[in-house]
Amino acid sequence: MPSAFVSQFRTATDQKGPVDWPWRRLAVAGLSACLALTATACSGVIGDAKTGSGGSGTGPATKPGDIPLATSGPITSLPADSTRFPRLTHQQWENTVRDLLRLPAVPGLSSMFVAEPLQSVFDNNGGVLTVDQDLREDYQAAAENLANKVARTPSLLATLAPSLPTDPAGKASAFIKTFGARAFRRPMTDAEVARYQALFDKGATLFGSGDAFADGVELVMSAFLQSPNFLYRVESSDNVVNGRVRLSDHEVAARLSYGLLNSMPDDALRAAADAGKLSTAEGVAAEAKRIMALPVVQQTLADFQIQLMHMRDFDSIARDPTQAPLLGQGVGADLRQEALSLMTDVVFAQGRGVTELLTAPYTFANSRVAQLYGQAAPKLAAGQADPFVKINLDPTQRAGLLTQMGFITNYAVGDTPNLILRGVHIVRDVLCLPLPPPPNNVPPLPAVTADTTNRKRVEELTKDSPCNTCHTAIINPLGFAFENLNGLGQWRTKESGGLPVDASGSYSLDGMPFTFDGPVSLIKTIAATTAAHNCFVEHMIEYLYGRDITDADADHNLVAQAGLRSKNETSIKDLIVELVSTDAFITRLP
């Protein structure tokens, strides 16, 4: 895509409004067939997309002063613009409070917080989150609630402060420094300690419970939980070397833990930060590998996949029970679990990468899902467990995530595929090709009839200008490839009226044209492209780094290198460790 065209959809991360993001919500909003801009825009040139597609990540830097792109070994990278104050999301707040106060579970108090709209690609972009009056009061109420609970429950207080001096002044000071360092995710400054000490000393007077220590704890804990140093992941390092700021070990620890765990650094990570072990890429990689081995990381990856594949929409998948009894109410949870099981198996059990995710000729199914694939399901007694187990699929019909039941039936109406939305998802979320917003006055598709195919009616509606600019070359062919899978997820070679399905087409990625016939043919080609791997790592970066990808060369280079490694079969686990060990992750711009 021409850079001038791309640039209108990208802004620097540091400006209000995020950069380009998946088209999914735009599609759901009902843009029917015609998606092209009326005037500028859709050039129809594929493979010249945002970040490095068409290139292999080799060769010299693109302009003087750039760093060379490494094709093997550690990724060479530079940081891009990012906020110094990413705010904790509500989920991160819950996890952090649980871990900070060493509670057995999340307290659930964020259900009282103002529900926030999605403002970015993923919901963990703290740079677009703010604190207004309502939320500030929500934080206050929650802080007071938790401080009261912890300070007045001896067992809870004891876990936070297991060994303190016995003299009141020393005890208070030690508590403030110890708890404060964990709450702020860094050691407190002397001025901060004095400030919180002064507040602590007011506790006995303001509470008057007779337990001066608990009074002081309740007061300062309430303050700690409302402090911006708790609510934001503050990055205050400012020592500029070669145009970059090296983050402190504690700031790196925070980025690492919120990227991989959606919570504050655990004790081991904090100890590594305290010992200065996160000042090198090797030290960061070692901690990243440790964290990636923790079972809880699977929840983080599941969250990533759910958002990327729009799997919350699966809850709306329900068909007429007389038409598709297996796709009744509640099937969405099973289809989501199917997709998550494949991801978990590929990433953690097999230690493999993106290509396997896209091309796996197997899936994971419970009894209902197995029947959807036409396989026998075991008879289960009431109350008997119904686990998701691996089943092999017809490799000529199924390949990976994009032919799973959830993806296929989500983009469909009844038994009719919504090939436009399927195509748009692949364009935007699998290939990261930008699409312009739709124009007004989009006419609806004509009704399905027996004398025409689904493909033909879409072709007919989108063949004229300005629709054809985007549809004919970019969107429609990708949707056509999936026409063998009807709206119920079943394989077909003929439509309901008896006309044969035509799932063939041609496309161009990485500057190379190719033809395909059916979904597996298309998917295998896509899985071998730089575009697809670059797109996946772009999303990984957005999620792990908690910010949108920018249009800066720094991000272009980062994506190109990581994408090359993904294309060369680097496992997703290893890719994640590499991405959080880069200079782009552990340094920042001034």
- Residues in region 418-447 near other proteins by CB under 8 A: 418, 420-421, 437-438, 440-445, 447
Q: Which of 446, 450, 470, 443 is nearest to 458 (CA)?
A: 446
Q: According to the binding rule CB under 8 A, does residue 33 interact with other proteins?
A: yes
User: Which residues in 290-349 contact other proteins (CB under 8 A)?
Assistant: 312
Backbone angles phi, psi at 498, to 5 degrees: 100, -10
In the bound state with other proteins, the residue whose beta carbon lies nearer, of 388 and 411, is 411
In the bound state with other proteins, the residue whose beta carbon lies nearer, of 108 and 383, is 108
CB of residue 485 to other proteins, shortest distance in Å = 16
- How many C-beta neighbours within 10 Å does residue 286 have? 16
CA Rg value for the chain = 26
- Please report where in the chains the tokens 């119904």 appear, as a residue: 386
CB of residue 205 to other proteins, shortest distance in Å = 8
* 64, two tokens: 């003087």
The interface mask with other proteins, positions 218-247, x = CB under 8 A, is -x--xx--xxxx----x-x-x---------
Q: According to the binding rule CB under 8 A, does residue 39 interact with other proteins?
A: no
Q: According to the binding rule CB under 8 A, does residue 25 interact with other proteins?
A: yes
Cα distances (Å, whole numbers) of residue 150 to 106, 374, 520: 14, 54, 56
Q: Which of 8, 72, 209, 396 binds other proteins (CB under 8 A)?
A: 8
CB of residue 101 to other proteins, shortest distance in Å = 17
| 3-class secondary structure per residue, 422-443 | HHHHHHHHHCCCCCCCCCCCCC
CB of residue 506 to other proteins, shortest distance in Å = 23
Counting residues that bind other proteins (by CB under 8 A) gives 82
Backbone angles phi, psi at 287, to 5 degrees: -65, -40
User: Which residues in 176-215 contact other proteins (CB under 8 A)?
Assistant: 192, 195-196, 199, 202, 206-208
Q: How far apart, in whole angstroms, are the C-alpha atoms of residue 230 and residue 88?
A: 9
Q: Which of 406, 470, 415, 430 is nearest to 32 (CA)?
A: 470
User: Which residues in 531-590 contact other proteins (CB under 8 A)?
Assistant: 590
User: Which residues in 107-126 contact other proteins (CB under 8 A)?
Assistant: 111-112, 114-120
* 520, two tokens: 């597996």
In the bound state with other proteins, the residue whose beta carbon lies nearer, of 352 and 428, is 428
Q: Which of 416, 504, 508, 525 binds other proteins (CB under 8 A)?
A: 416
Q: According to the binding rule CB under 8 A, does residue 448 interact with other proteins?
A: yes
- Please report where in the chains the tokens 């460790």 appear, as a residue: 577
User: Which residues in 127-146 contact other proteins (CB under 8 A)?
Assistant: 127, 130-138, 140-141
**3-class DSSP assignment, residue 224:** helix
CB-based contact 50:552 (threshold 8 Å): no
CB-based contact 67:501 (threshold 8 Å): no
Cis preceding linkage at 444, omega within 30: no
In the bound state with other proteins, the residue whose beta carbon lies nearer, of 200 and 388, is 200
* Helices marked H in 467-552: 467-470, 476-480, 519-527, 530-545
Q: According to the binding rule CB under 8 A, does residue 11 interact with other proteins?
A: yes
**3-class DSSP assignment, residue 504:** strand
Q: Which of 32, 77, 363, 476 binds other proteins (CB under 8 A)?
A: 32
Q: Which of 44, 45, 67, 85 binds other proteins (CB under 8 A)?
A: 85
User: Which residues in 242-271 contact other proteins (CB under 8 A)?
Assistant: none
In the bound state with other proteins, the residue whose beta carbon lies nearer, of 56 and 237, is 237
